[in-house]
Chain A
Amino acid sequence: MSFEGVGKRFGARTVLTGVNGVLRPGRVVVVTGPNGSGKSTLLNILSGLIRPSRGSVRYLQDEVELSRRGWLSKLGVVAPDMAVYEELSALENLRFFTRLRGSKADDVVLEGLLESVGLARREHRRPVGAYSSGMKQRVKLAQAVLHEPAVLLLDEPSSNLDEAGHTVVGALVAQFRERAAVAVATNDPRETAWGDEEIRLAV
Chain B
Amino acid sequence: MLSEAMAVLGKELTGELRSRVALNAIGLFALTTLTAVAYQIGPYRIAAEDRPHLLAALLWIILFFAATSGLARVFVKEEDAHTAKTLRLAARPEAVLLGKLLFNLLLLVALEVFIVPLYCVLMAYEVKGVAGLVLVLALGSLALAAVATIVAAIISRASGSGTLFAVLTVPLALPLLVILIQGTRAAAESPDVAAVWPALRAIVSLAGVTLIASAYLFPVVWHD
Q: 1/0 per residue A91-128: CB within 8 Å of B?
A: 01000110111100000000000000000000000010
Instruction: From A84, A86, A96, name the one whose CB has the most chain B CB atoms within 10 angstroms.
Output: A96
Instruction: From B7, B90, B223, name the one whose CB has the most chain A CB atoms within 10 angstroms.
Output: B90
Q: How large is the interface on A (under 10, 10 to 19, 20 to 34, 35 or more residues)?
A: 20 to 34
Q: Does B14 contact A (CB under 8 A)?
A: yes
Q: Does B40 contact A (CB under 8 A)?
A: no
Q: Does A50 contact B (CB under 8 A)?
A: yes
A3 CB to nearest chain B CB (Å): 18
Q: Does A66 contact B (CB under 8 A)?
A: no
A126 CB to nearest chain B CB (Å): 12
In Å, the complex CA distance between A97 and B91 comes to: 8
Number of interface residues, chain B, beta carbon within 8 A: 24
Main secondary structure of the interface of A (DSSP, over half): loop
B90 partner residues in chain A, CB cutoff 8 A: 97, 100-101
Cβ-defined partner of B224 (8 Å) among A49, A77, A81: A49
Contact B86 A84 (CB under 8 A): yes
Contact A85 B15 (CB under 8 A): yes
A23 CB to nearest chain B CB (Å): 16
In Å, the complex CA distance between A51 and B224 comes to: 8
Q: Does B4 contact A (CB under 8 A)?
A: yes
Contact B7 A88 (CB under 8 A): no
Cβ-defined partner of A79 (8 Å) among B4, B85, B223: B85
Contact A87 B86 (CB under 8 A): no
In Å, the complex CA distance between A69 and B82 comes to: 21
Q: Does A72 contact B (CB under 8 A)?
A: yes
B45 partner residues in chain A, CB cutoff 8 A: none
Q: 1/0 per residue A21-37: CB within 8 Å of B?
A: 00000000000000000
Q: Does B88 contact A (CB under 8 A)?
A: yes
In Å, the complex CA distance between A50 and B15 comes to: 28
Contact A87 B88 (CB under 8 A): no
Contact B14 A82 (CB under 8 A): no
Closest to B15 in A: A87
Closest to B85 in A: A82
Contact A81 B82 (CB under 8 A): yes
Q: Does A137 contact B (CB under 8 A)?
A: no
Contact B18 A87 (CB under 8 A): yes
Contact B14 A88 (CB under 8 A): yes
Closest to A77 in B: B89
In Å, the complex CA distance between A124 and B4 comes to: 23
Q: Does B48 contact A (CB under 8 A)?
A: no
Q: Which residues on B are within 8 Å of A, measured CB to CB? A: 3-4, 7-8, 10-11, 14-15, 18-19, 81-83, 85-92, 95, 223-224
